[in-house]
Amino acid sequence: AQTVTQSQPEMSVQEAETVTLSCTYDTSESDYYLFWYKQPPSRQMILVIRQEAYKQQNATENRFSVNFQKAAKSFSLKISDSQLGDAAMYFCAYRSANGNQFYFGTGTSLTVIP
Amino acid sequence: NAGVTQTPKFRILKIGQSMTLQCTQDMNHNYMYWYRQDPGMGLKLIYYSVGAGITDKGEVPNGYNVSRSTTEDFPLRLELAAPSQTSVYFCASTGQYYGYTFGSGTRLTVV
């Protein structure tokens, strides 16, 4: 099975600053998808951003962008101009292109300091 | 378009009781999943289904059962509830190329 590792259990950032959350994964597959999910205190799981492994261009969604390094099996999330509403648990996830299951990391708890 | 609907949102069970967590999706997704999330922890897969009539065990299936008689519905059954099953339960669905769409979760306490 694939493994997803988030080595930062907790992170903090000053409001309006930039923070990067790390994620690495282990796979022998060449085609797959990577995701970042946000879980605020409400517990709702919200898809933040998605990256297809076959695309070299890094995905961007407004203030959220990724740094996808396929050879290094790294998939970090950058949050620019951090806002108080960004405070949440963030999960990195992996899915095979032809697979049925997602594999989640253990999460990074992000605190935004006013 | 409601997405994934889970009921109930909260429930308290006594040890030994049984209950069914309901999950319905209206996106015609073939794949559906049940996860549990313990406090401060990540998600653990309980059961999943790749289509009506097909289910399979995930990482932590003991104490649970599922069925998938239709594409839309994927109920999770807890038999003989135990304190170790106190958790937040998430149902999710997906099409072939997309990320999960999650339900809003069910917070279950077994006392």
A47 and B CB contact within 8 Å: yes
Q: How confident is the model at residue A41 (pLDDT cuts 50, 70, 90)?
A: confident
Given a cut of 70, whether residue A83 has pLDDT beyond it is: yes
Question: What is the rounded average pLDDT of the residues A41-53?
Answer: 90
The CA distance from B87 to the nearest CA of chain A, in Å, is 12
Question: What is the rounded average pLDDT of the residues A39-45?
Answer: 88
Chains A, B: CB pairs < 8 Å: 48
Task: State chain B's mean pLDDT as an integer.
Answer: 92
Given a cut of 80, whether residue A79 has pLDDT beyond it is: yes
Residue closest to A113 by CA, chosen among A6, A19, A41: A19
- Quote the pLDDT of residue B95: 79
**DSSP sequence for B7-51:** E-SEEEE-TT--EEEEEEESS--SEEEEEEE-TT--EEEEEEEEE
Spell out, as residue ranges, where chain B has pLDDT lower than 50.
Answer: none
Question: Is pLDDT larger for residue A56 or for residue A68?
Answer: A68
Given a cut of 90, whether residue A96 has pLDDT beyond it is: no
Name the A residues in 54-113 with CB < 8 Å from any B CB. Answer: 91, 93, 95, 97, 100-102, 104-107
Q: Which of A45, A47, A101 is the closest to B48 by Cβ?
A: A101
Task: State chain A's mean pLDDT as an integer.
Answer: 93
Cβ contact, residue pair A95, B58, below 8 Å? no
- Quote the pLDDT of residue A1: 65
A42: closest chain B residue by CA: B104
